[in-house]
Amino acid sequence: MHPAPSVIIFTTLSGLGFGMLVFLGLDTSAPTGWAGFAFFAIAYALAVGGLMSSTLHLGHPERALKAFTQWRSSWLSREGVFAVATLLIMALFAFSLVFFGTQMSLLGWIGALLSILTIFATSMIYTQLKTVPRWNHWSPPVLFMAYALVGGALLTGRVTLVMYLLPLLAILQIFAWFDQDRREANSDSTVATATGLGGLGEVRSFEKPHTGSNYLTKEMVFQVGRKHAATLKVISLALSCAIPLLLLLVSFNHFVAILAVLSHIAGVFVQRWLFFAEAKHVVGLYYGR
């Protein structure tokens, strides 16, 4: 599918922001005062900024509020409900912690749980799509959660935990890519199954359905070369996992920590670009892509 910048920014930044809120809500010694304010400000900037960027991909952004009414059937709507609930509860938690030095643990735990549910709901927007086999897989929910938690741990300064999580994240991502490639290679989807004409005999496309592009070819059909994809996967793992781990192993100070965070975020951006670029909508079979 076409990697729209708005959804790449959305899935990357919102995941990092809500990942931060998970750890801030569970931390028994969460920072107070101006230090606490800075942590919560960063988390909210990432979470809200990511959510706001997602509206740029909507055909009618002014209708975004209507999405909240479909929570019974839509993961997009559930994500919105969970996100707003998280931000409101964590705002109360942060206000009490920052200005009064009082930790309302119950609110923190509820906020952390809602943050996890928000991340999960975001991943399910894509996982539920049976028309995109690469997404209709176990890996999007697991990886969305893993990247959010690793990023949240890194941004909240949990260095020891991050040094254990980064290698695990790299292994998980590599396994997911191999499993997705294996599943895609063994797929029985063809032009015949896409058109439903297989029962009539051999089906092949002898001419393109349209002389020009349309919405489907622009949004649902995108090709990335296998060689380029392999290179980008190496870059993604190096930036998101290897470089941050090496930086944290060498010596820890605030400058090194900032470099590790920036490298990780850059790697997640590359990973999310690949997430969309490698996803093949079955409509591509009809258009001969």
Confidence of residue 271 (pLDDT cuts 50, 70, 90): very high
Per-residue pLDDT at 80 exceeds 60? yes
Confidence of residue 52 (pLDDT cuts 50, 70, 90): confident
Mean predicted confidence (pLDDT) in 94-102 = 93
**DSSP category for residue 281:** -
Q: The domain spanning residue 265 has which CATH number? A: 1.20.1630.10
User: 231-264: per-residue pLDDT in tens?
Assistant: 999 999 999 999 999 999 987 788 898 999 999 9
User: 160-218: per-residue pLDDT in tens?
Assistant: 999 999 999 999 999 999 998 888 777 666 666 666 766 777 766 666 666 666 555 55
* pLDDT reported for residue 200: 74
* pLDDT reported for residue 214: 55
* pLDDT reported for residue 211: 60
* pLDDT reported for residue 107: 96
**DSSP category for residue 242:** I
Type and span of the H or E element at 172: helix 159-185
pTM here is 0.88
Is residue 89 within 8 Å of 107, Cβ to Cβ? yes
State the average pLDDT for the chain: 86
Mean predicted confidence (pLDDT) in 133-147 = 93
Query: Cα 169 vs. chain centroid, distance in angstroms?
Result: 14
Query: For the chain, what is the radius of gyration of the CA atoms?
Result: 21
Is residue 121 within 8 Å of 238, Cβ to Cβ? no
Range of the domain at 163: 5-286
Number of domains within the chain: 1
The one-letter code for the residue type at 212 is: G
* pLDDT reported for residue 54: 78
Query: Distances from the Cα of 143 to the Cαs of 93, 169, 190, 230, 266, in angstroms?
Result: 28, 8, 28, 18, 16
Residue 194 CB neighbour total at 10 angstroms: 17
Per-residue pLDDT at 145 exceeds 90? yes
Residues in the chain: 289
* pLDDT reported for residue 20: 97
Torsion region of 4: left, alpha or beta (phi above 0 gives left; psi -120 to 50 gives alpha): beta
Query: Distances from the Cα of 239 to the Cαs of 107, 173, 228, 235, in angstroms?
Result: 34, 13, 16, 6
Q: Which two tokens stand for residue 87?
A: 């931000």
Is residue 169 within 8 Å of 150, Cβ to Cβ? yes
- Which of 44-48, 147-151, 188-192, 208-212 is the least confident region? 208-212
Find the angle CA(37)-CA(43)-CA(46) to the nearest 5 degrees. Answer: 135
